[in-house]
Amino acid sequence: VELVHMKRLNVQKFDLGGTPRRILFHSESRTLLVMRTESSNDFISMSSDICRVDPVSGFMNSCFKFDPGETPKCMQLTRVGNEQLLVVGTSLSTGRIIMASGEAE
């Protein structure tokens, strides 16, 4: 893939499990922050998490799992003082709600 003249993008494929919904690059740790949604085999229960992934090896360094019924919708890296924070917007639901796109609501 060529982005601009004489600059190339290295493209790799990883099995992350679940369905990636959002991806951010954390420049300080040089890792990807991947928001995922995964459904069980019966498609009744959905779970969501955000994982730190090494972009070279595909290894998942750590994951934060959301409580049942809590679904991450958006995320953004922001700097407060000397610290870089990940801000995540979530929604809470008591039942199983699936949008037309198949994404858990």
Whether 102 maps to a domain, the answer reads no
Whether 86 maps to a domain, the answer reads no
Whether 34 maps to a domain, the answer reads yes
Whether 84 maps to a domain, the answer reads no
Domain interval for residue 20: 2-68
Whether 95 maps to a domain, the answer reads no
Return the HEC string of the chain: CEEECCEECCCCCCCCCCEEEEEEEECCCCEEEEEEEEECCCCCCEEEEEEEECCCCCCEEEEEECCCCEEEEEEEEEEECCEEEEEEEEEECCCCCECCCCCEC
Quote the CA–CA distance of 62 and 65 in Å, as a whole number: 10
Whether 44 maps to a domain, the answer reads yes
pLDDT of residue 14: 82
Whether 87 maps to a domain, the answer reads no
Quote the CA–CA distance of 89 and 105 in Å, as a whole number: 12
Count of the separate structural domains present in the chain: 1
pLDDT tens-digit series, residues 48-100: 999 999 988 889 999 999 998 888 999 999 999 999 999 999 988 776 555 54
Whether 104 maps to a domain, the answer reads no
pLDDT band at 39 (very low <50, low <70, confident <90, very high): confident
